């Protein structure tokens, strides 16, 4: 993890230059205050958004970040990481990377949220008050939902794989890359958990593996009698974009890949290599032998959010779909996968929410109306083969933009797009974490939103400051 320590040094120097251009050195916010203007829960998108907010507000507000994991896994590059185009040191980043040196933070999960008292209680017992609260907790993986699964996944050679690397693995453990190459015969399964879950589309590697296994079967590396099946606990692959869902289903049918719907993986027997599936419509269970099994990690509701009455019936945060402000508590905002929004849950969906939360948070702190609106934009690479990809990119209602399913049938552009994602994208994500790039849409500039007409002042603006408008009287 030495690379991460170097990156922390880089971000400190970078932010010192940014904040010290005006003159006197700014002091960090004390880490032991009883309350803060803004408390952030979550250090992935939350940490990035806290840095953007601090920069936009010129350090005006005292902020604090708490998080429950020392590292973040960068899921947008998970597929090329499994193909070993991206190093583990670029796939796993320290959580503190995204938080600037002026904002105190603590590695401690939230035990309790008290929205009526404007306070949170950490696992270590510390109580922290807030003026505003931003929840960017993501979706919590449930390692115990599938009986025996975590034990089989942690085993270094057992043929059970997932889209998450266990924290117990050493840096030289490359089991994640063997999902494709170690399959020689018998039954192979790709399992999708019941929605909602983290990794929809982002962690769909079945087109990649199917292409490789067809080649291996033709060249004697895989038995021609092997059987590959996708076990989907839902009736859709993409829940909020019908055109993307239809495309995936039609491609799987063309390629002759078996798909069984409403089949939920409930148990793994490591010793016997048997998997138990439950039909969610009938309740019946079936036990099947496997020689290769990959499952996206299931998730569970965030308990502190549920206990605080902040969630809907599905366990996701109840926020306004446009302003991302909580529907009941107006001093609480949501960011990322933890929000109940009718769009595909991806890293880029969360990224486009950052500007909205940053803008609306500052305006709410200043007692102003919320003028930034999230349009539901979500973008995620869909790997259509071993070396080609297209994008699923849509707004609310599943309306695609110009990149949506472009070059979906392969070709040189799809191949070039894959090459760029495999070789360049990981370094871009690092720049986002370090605050050296604000990301799309403007990268070097923060996105701004139109000021409501009733708030516009004719005396505002640089020109009006030096050349005041003449009175009309």
pLDDT digits (tens, 9 = 90+) for 319-359: 999 999 999 999 999 999 999 999 999 999 999 999 999 99
Q: Residue 125: which pLDDT band, with cuts at 50, 70 and 90? A: very high
Tokens of 391: 């994008």
Q: Residue 457: which pLDDT band, with cuts at 50, 70 and 90? A: low
- Hunting for tokens 């986002």 — which residue is that? 432
313 φ, ψ (degrees, to nearest 5):
-65, -25
Is the pLDDT at 15 greater than 60? The verdict is no
Higher pLDDT residue, 106 or 75? 106
- Contact between 300 and 285 under an 8 Å Cβ cutoff? The reply is no
pLDDT digits (tens, 9 = 90+) for 371-386: 999 999 999 999 999 9
pLDDT, residue 473, reads: 40
Q: Residue 466: which pLDDT band, with cuts at 50, 70 and 90? A: very low
Domains of the chain: 34-141+301-377 (3.50.50.60), 149-298 (3.50.50.60)
Closest CA to 197 of 238, 228, 169, 231: 238
Distances (CA, A) of 86 to 74, 177, 341, 407, 456: 11, 11, 31, 24, 48
Q: Residue 469: which pLDDT band, with cuts at 50, 70 and 90? A: very low
pLDDT digits (tens, 9 = 90+) for 387-409: 999 999 999 999 999 999 999 98
Q: Residue 177: which pLDDT band, with cuts at 50, 70 and 90? A: confident
Least confident of 86-95, 148-157, 312-321: 86-95
Distance between CA atoms of residues 427 and 431, nearest Å: 6
- Contact between 400 and 365 under an 8 Å Cβ cutoff? The reply is no
- Contact between 269 and 148 under an 8 Å Cβ cutoff? The reply is yes
Q: Residue 442: which pLDDT band, with cuts at 50, 70 and 90? A: confident
Task: Among 19-23, 325-329, 468-472, name the most confident range.
Answer: 325-329
Residue 109: count of CB within 10 angstroms of its CB? 18
Is the pLDDT at 13 greater than 90? The verdict is no
DSSP states along 87-148? -HHHHEEEGGGGS-TTS-EEE--EEEEETTTTEEEETTS-EEEEEEEEE----EE-TTSSBT
- Contact between 384 and 408 under an 8 Å Cβ cutoff? The reply is yes
Q: Residue 22: which pLDDT band, with cuts at 50, 70 and 90? A: very low
pLDDT digits (tens, 9 = 90+) for 42-75: 999 999 999 999 999 999 999 999 999 998 888 8
Instruction: Give the torsion sign (CA, 218, 222, 223, 225).
Output: negative
Is the pLDDT at 366 greater than 90? The verdict is yes
The pTM is what?
0.89
Distance between CA atoms of residues 229 and 96, nearest Å: 40
- What percent of the chain is modeled with pLDDT above 90? 74
């Amino acid at each position: 993890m030495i690379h991460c320590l170097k990156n922390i040094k880089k971000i400190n120097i970078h932010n010192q230059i940014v904040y010290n251009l005006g003159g006197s050195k700014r002091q960090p916010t004390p880490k032991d205050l009883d309350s803060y203007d803004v408390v952030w829960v979550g250090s992935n998108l939350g940490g990035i958004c806290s840095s953007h907010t601090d920069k936009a507000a010129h350090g005006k507000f005292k902020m604090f970040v708490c998080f429950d994991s020392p590292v973040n896994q960068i899921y947008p590059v998970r597929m090329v990481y499994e193909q070993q185009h991206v190093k583990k040191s670029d796939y796993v980043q320290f959580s503190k990377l995204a938080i600037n040196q002026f904002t105190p933070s603590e590695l401690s999960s939230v035990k309790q949220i008290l929205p009526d008292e404007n306070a949170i209680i950490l696992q270590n017992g510390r109580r922290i008050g807030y003026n505003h609260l931003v929840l960017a907790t993501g979706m919590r993986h449930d390692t115990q939902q599938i009986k025996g699964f975590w034990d089989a996944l942690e085993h270094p050679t057992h043929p059970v794989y997932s889209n998450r690397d266990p924290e117990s693995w050493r840096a030289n453990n490359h089991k994640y890359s063997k999902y494709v190459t170690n399959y020689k015969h018998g039954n192979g399964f790709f399992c999708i958990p019941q929605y909602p879950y983290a990794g929809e589309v982002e962690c769909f590697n079945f087109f990649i593996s199917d292409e490789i296994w067809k080649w291996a079967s033709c060249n004697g590396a895989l038995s021609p009698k092997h059987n590959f099946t996708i076990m989907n606990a839902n009736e859709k692959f993409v829940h909020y974009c019908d055109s993307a869902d239809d495309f995936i289903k039609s491609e799987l049918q063309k390629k002759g890949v078996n798909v069984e719907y409403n089949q939920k993986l409930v148990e793994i027997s490591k010793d016997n290599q048997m998997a138990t599936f439950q039909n969610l419509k009938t309740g019946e269970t079936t036990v099947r032998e496997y020689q290769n099994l990959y499952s996206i990690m299931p998730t569970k509701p965030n308990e502190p959010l549920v206990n605080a009455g902040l969630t809907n019936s599905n366990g996701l945060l109840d926020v306004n779909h446009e302003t991302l402000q909580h529907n009941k508590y107006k001093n609480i905002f949501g960011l990322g996968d933890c929000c109940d929004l009718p769009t595909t849950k991806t890293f880029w969906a969360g990224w486009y929410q950052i500007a909205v939360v940053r803008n609306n948070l500052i305006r709410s702190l200043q007692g102003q109306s919320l003028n930034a609106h999230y349009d539901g934009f979500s973008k995620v690479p869909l790997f259509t083969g071993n070396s080609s990809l297209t994008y699923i990119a849509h707004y609310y209602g599943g309306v695609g933009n110009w990149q949506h399913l472009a070059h979906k049938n392969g070709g040189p552009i799809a191949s070039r797009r894959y090459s760029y994602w495999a070789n360049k994208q990981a370094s871009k994500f690092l720049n986002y974490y370090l605050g050296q790039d604000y990301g799309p849409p403007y990268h070097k500039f923060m996105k701004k939103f139109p000021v409501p007409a009733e708030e516009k002042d004719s005396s505002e603006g640089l020109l009006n400051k030096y050349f005041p408008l003449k009175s009309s009287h």
